Amino acid sequence: MSEQQNPFDNDALDFLVLLNARQQYSLWPAFAPVPAGWHNAAGPLTRSAAIEFIEANWHDMRPATQQTSSTAH
């Protein structure tokens, strides 16, 4: 029995960088359909280039709605 590699970990595949309405990014295999609520922000790219894009552009992991509503106590 051959071991199948998780497509998200496969450096040989091309990837998309997806973005949703909450300004959250996702690494996505280019062969897979883009899920509802997400759109292609970059790609297709190599896996490493897609990860670099996400690291360069996603500065705050919180959803956009929480980024603008900070409260001081």
**One-character DSSP codes across 4-52:** PPPGGG-TTSEEEEEEETT--EEEEETTSPPPTTEEEEEEEEEHHHHHH
Domains and CATH numbers, the chain: 12-63 (3.90.820.10)
Residue-level pLDDT at 65? 65
Residue-level pLDDT at 72? 46
Prediction pTM value: 0.78
Residue-level pLDDT at 1? 45
Per the structure block, which two tokens stand in for 13? 């595949």
Q: What is the pLDDT along the chain (73 residues), one digit of tens a residue?
A: 456 789 999 999 999 999 999 999 999 999 999 999 999 999 999 999 999 999 999 987 766 666 665 544 4
